[in-house]
A = this chain, B = another copy of it.
Amino acid sequence: MNDKNAVTIIVFSGDLDKLFASFVIATGAAASGMKVNMFFTFWGLKLLQKEGAKPRGLDWMRKMFGFMVKPGPENRPLSKMNMLGMGPMMLKKIMKKSNLPSLREMLATAKSLGVKLIACSTTMGVMGIPKEILIPEVDTVAGVTSFLADAKESSFTLFI
């Protein structure tokens, strides 16, 4: 068999529950020896943004967008039952009680397993996120052409 031994995941969502699912698949695949590409775009890119850093020189609209959606693994909402932050807080406590890793820990595990973290260049332009305010774990900044090349070499590709 000449099977492709890679997985590509477009992480479009910035929701805690969908990010968990993305990392469970990504780390599971990497642990089993597959090459994994995670392509963070739109709301998903917020995970890769440094928590303290603020974009500079943006117009008010981009500032407002950036202000409303907080960056980093600790600030992710839920896709359902968010309840002004109650939902994510509860889910995080439940995950901990179940001895499951946090999003921050999953990110670190993914890195140590060689998962490639890619930041979408188009989103960075639209959202006003320069490379300097991305976390150092990001492997590369790339666009749709790079994604297509990865997806073509993958056993399966998911949009999450």
Tell me if B126 and A34 are in contact (CB < 8 A).
Answer: no
Neighbouring B residues of A24 by C-beta, 8 Å: 122, 144
Tell me if B144 and A126 are in contact (CB < 8 A).
Answer: no
* A14–B17 alpha-carbon span in the complex (Å): 13
Copies in the complex: 3
Smallest Cβ distance from A105 to chain B, in angstroms? 15
In chain A between 1 and 41, which residues have their CB closer than 8 angstroms to a CB of chain B?
Answer: 3, 8, 10, 12, 14, 17-18, 20-21, 24-25, 28-29, 32, 34, 41
Among the stretches A48-56, A61-69, A107-115, A133-141, the one at the interface with B is A61-69
Which of B8, B12, B81 has a CB less than 8 Å from the CB of A65?
B81
* A68–B43 alpha-carbon span in the complex (Å): 26
* A115–B68 alpha-carbon span in the complex (Å): 35
Q: Is the interface of A mostly helix, strand, loop or mixed?
A: helix
Smallest Cβ distance from A39 to chain B, in angstroms? 10
Tell me if B152 and A154 are in contact (CB < 8 A).
Answer: no
Could you pull out 14 A-B pairs where Cβ atoms are within 8 angstroms?
A20-B42, A24-B144, A25-B144, A25-B147, A28-B144, A28-B147, A59-B97, A61-B93, A62-B94, A65-B81, A91-B126, A100-B122, A157-B158, A159-B159
Known: A21-B41, A43-B79. 20 other contacts (CB 8 A): A3-B152, A8-B156, A12-B21, A14-B80, A17-B43, A21-B42, A25-B148, A28-B143, A28-B144, A28-B148, A59-B97, A61-B94, A62-B94, A65-B91, A69-B80, A94-B126, A98-B125, A100-B126, A151-B156, A158-B159
